[in-house]
Amino acid sequence: MKPTATTATTPLRRLALHSTKTCAAPASAYGKCILATYMDVQKDTCKAEFEKFGACVREAVSKLQRPVNAGDIIP
C-alpha cells in the first residue's frame, strides 16, 4: 500500500503515475463513458474518450524518458 511515488522509477510505476495523476481528467471522462454503457459494452464503445486518454498517457510517459525506439511505443 505504498503511495505512488512522485518520481516513478520503473516503467510500470511511471505508467501508474501518469494514468492516475497526470491524466486524471481524460481518465475520468473515459471511466464515465464506460459507466454510462457498462451493461452493453462493445469493442470501441468509448474509442474517442480512450484516444484522448491514451494520447495523454503516452505523451506524459515519453516526456520523462525517451523510448529506445520511438516507433514502437505508438501503436
> By CB under 8 A, is residue 5 in contact with another protein?
no
- Grid cell digits, residue 4: 505512488
Of the candidates 48, 55, 63, 73, which one interacts with another protein according to CB under 8 A?
73
> By CB under 8 A, is residue 53 in contact with another protein?
yes
Torsions phi, psi of 40, nearest 5?
-145, 60
Binding site for another protein (CB under 8 A): 1-4, 10-16, 19-20, 27-28, 30-32, 34-35, 38, 41-46, 50, 53-54, 57, 61, 65, 67-69, 72-73, 75
